[in-house]
Amino acid sequence: MTTNFPVVDGFIIVLYFLLMLGIGLFFSKKNNNSAQFSTAAGKIPGWALGLSFYATFLSAITFLGDPGKSFGSNWNPFAFSLSMPFAAYVSARFFVPFYRQSQQISAYTHLEQRFGAWARSYAMLCFILTQLARMGTIFYGVALMLNTLTGLSMYGIILGLGACIVLYTVLGGMEAVIWTEVIQAIIKTLGALLILGIVLSQVSFSNVISSGWQEQKFSLGSFRFDFYSSTFWVVFLYGFFINLTNFGIDQNYIQRYHTARNAHDAARSIWLCVGYYLPVSMLFFFIGTALYVYYQANPELILALKQQVSTEKGITLASLTPADYGDKVLPFFIKTQIPTGFLGLLMAALLSAAMSTMSSGMNSAATVFLHDIYRPYFAPQANEAQQLRVLRMAIVIMGCLGMAFGLGMIGVKSLLDAWWKLAGLFAGGMLGLFLLGFLNKKLGAFSAKVAAIVGLGLIFWLSFKDIFPEALRSPFDPKMTVVLGTIAIVGIGMGAEWLRTPKKQES
């Protein structure tokens, strides 16, 4: 699908890129040391930090994945968003004070102090893999959108966009990341409202409500306590544990707690993020439902997209279901229904949704590399110039690896499902190990190792059930991986320590 892209819209997008690069250049003059580059010297106000967190949450996965799921199915994934306030309470109440008092910029230094270098290395590896998976998913989502709108190669889009993000992240450091995210948060919110307004100009609000309700498009899923399918409780629990990972141990967030002026602002920023994200997340699910109602009433308008997907997947039109092309519906609607001028604004909103998450991810991953690998093992006495050079090199490497992940994801069926599976795979062990050390201050390294080994085995069994004989496969929904993995590590670690306690007393 190709199109003659309007010059006006192209000009708007070029202006947006120049603005982002300009911000990077402006803040590059301040980056004289690693602390300024990584934490903005602790001068960020709470409201800006809250918008920064919100911009990270509102990524291209939300822009495309949420409407795609509600179009192809229902609002079951919205239970993920509903879990955010609960994870926010735990994080603001316990984790933020802990990190602010520790004065450690790396989230994983605590694990080494508790259990040894192996724990720090394991958590750091899980974090980096999670960041690469997140960046790859977002790269693919943006490429999918721009390919539909412009006909450009998905490979070229990923490489070109990646180069731009790496450039302004290398130049500006964390302060540039946060202030660009503030701008991007505003652009993304306006873009979401613009999309909703245009959709509702095509199909009335009352029609969306009545038709969607009749076809159970607003369903949050079954409320049975069934953990073998995607029920409300499965998605809610998955969301709680993933959001606890985000707010509680993800370096991407922990690092920004140190950019706040004080602990109160850092904790407040979490609640601001939740307050911004919840209604906007609901808005995107509503957009997907509205598009479903619109195209059900006008099936001829979506025939071109269905024919394209039918050809790509090698299946007949009659065999296609809405879930097969859900991720492509919003880009298709924008391409065919959005007037000149607005198209450029919406593309800038989409690009901002991608750039905010990936730039902060690159910066935090580089910080982890500096503080958890380079300085402890290679150059403990590295001066400020050397540290800045390592940070910038690590950002470039992470950007290249993220692009490689994005290229590898081309062709996945559901953007949201792919990200959720990868996040669950890497987050379970990391969160479980952290909670084990946080909840039991006397637990030893041996018990933690036992818990980590058994927990990793369980996560592997839950994540790769297709390689096992049918009788031995996990019956649980894949989203339960992070839930069961975390609980298992905490429970096994506590149990192992309890069994060893009598021997310690005898000794």
The 3-state DSSP class for residue 507 equals coil
In this structure, is residue 30 part of a structural domain? Answer: no
In this structure, is residue 203 part of a structural domain? Answer: yes
Residues sharing a CB contact under 8 Å with residue 208, sequence separation 6 or more, in sequence order: 200, 286, 289, 290, 293
> Of residues 234 and 431, which shows the higher confidence score?
234
Query: Does residue 3 have a pLDDT over 60?
Result: no
In this structure, is residue 2 part of a structural domain? Answer: no
Please state, in angstroms and as integers, the Cα–Cα distance from residue 211 to each residue in 40, 48, 204, 205, following that order. 50, 40, 11, 10
Token pair 């229904």 is at which residue? 337
Q: Which helix (H) or strand (E) holds 263?
A: helix 263-297
Token pair 């800038």 is at which residue? 348
Report the range of poorest mean pLDDT among 35-39, 289-293, 485-489: 35-39
Q: What is the pLDDT of residue 450?
A: 93
Q: How far is Cα 129 from Cα 78, in angstroms, rounded to an integer?
A: 25
Query: Does residue 29 have a pLDDT over 90?
Result: no
In this structure, is residue 32 part of a structural domain? Answer: no
Question: Are 344 and 9 within 8 A, CB to CB?
Answer: yes
Q: Which helix (H) or strand (E) holds 350?
A: helix 342-369
Question: Are 481 and 462 within 8 A, CB to CB?
Answer: yes
Can you list the alpha helix ranges (DSSP code H) found in 203-262? 205-214, 232-248, 251-257
In this structure, is residue 36 part of a structural domain? Answer: no
Q: How far is Cα 67 from Cα 280, in angstroms, rounded to an integer?
A: 12
DSSP bridge partners of 44: 260
Please provide the DSSP assignment of 11-27 as one string: HHHHHHHHHHHHHHHHH
Residue 63 C-alpha from the chain's centroid:
12
* Residue among 41, 66, 52 at smallest CA distance from 270: 52
Residues sharing a CB contact under 8 Å with residue 333, sequence separation 6 or more, in sequence order: 199, 291
The confidence band for 2, taking pLDDT boundaries of 50, 70 and 90, is very low
Angle between helix axes 7-28 and 154-202 (nearest 10 degrees) is 120
In this structure, is residue 302 part of a structural domain? Answer: yes
pLDDT, tens digit (0-9, with 9 covering 90-100), for 393-421 = 998 998 899 899 888 888 776 666 777 77
The confidence band for 303, taking pLDDT boundaries of 50, 70 and 90, is very high
- Virtual torsion, Cα 21, 141, 37, 13, nearest 10 deg: 10
Q: How far is Cα 143 from Cα 153, in angstroms, rounded to an integer?
A: 8
pLDDT, tens digit (0-9, with 9 covering 90-100), for 61-116 = 788 789 999 999 999 999 999 999 999 999 999 999 988 888 777 778 888 888 98
- Total domains present in the chain: 1
Question: Are 53 and 364 within 8 A, CB to CB?
Answer: no
DSSP bridge partners of 260: 44
Q: Which helix (H) or strand (E) holds 223?
A: none
| Distant-in-sequence contacts of 441-444, Cβ < 8 A, 24+ apart | 442/497, 443/114, 443/493, 443/494, 443/497, 444/497, 444/500
Q: How far is Cα 333 from Cα 120, in angstroms, rounded to an integer?
A: 46
Question: Are 302 and 295 within 8 A, CB to CB?
Answer: yes
The confidence band for 275, taking pLDDT boundaries of 50, 70 and 90, is very high
Phi, psi torsion values for 44, nearest 5 degrees: -85, 130
Q: What is the pLDDT of residue 456?
A: 86
Neighbours of 209 (CB within 10 A): 16
119: left (phi over 0), alpha (psi -120 to 50) or beta: alpha
| Tokens at 377, concatenated | 């093992």
* Residue among 413, 422, 496, 408 at smallest CA distance from 459: 422
Percentage of the chain modeled with pLDDT above 70: 94
Neighbours of 485 (CB within 10 A): 29
Query: Does residue 290 have a pLDDT over 90?
Result: yes
Q: What is the pLDDT of residue 505?
A: 52
Mean pLDDT computed over 259-281: 93
What's the domain range around 433? 7-25+44-506
- The counts of H helices and E strands in the chain are 22, 0
In this structure, is residue 366 part of a structural domain? Answer: yes
CATH of the domain at 166: 1.20.1730.10
Phi, psi torsion values for 260, nearest 5 degrees: -70, 155
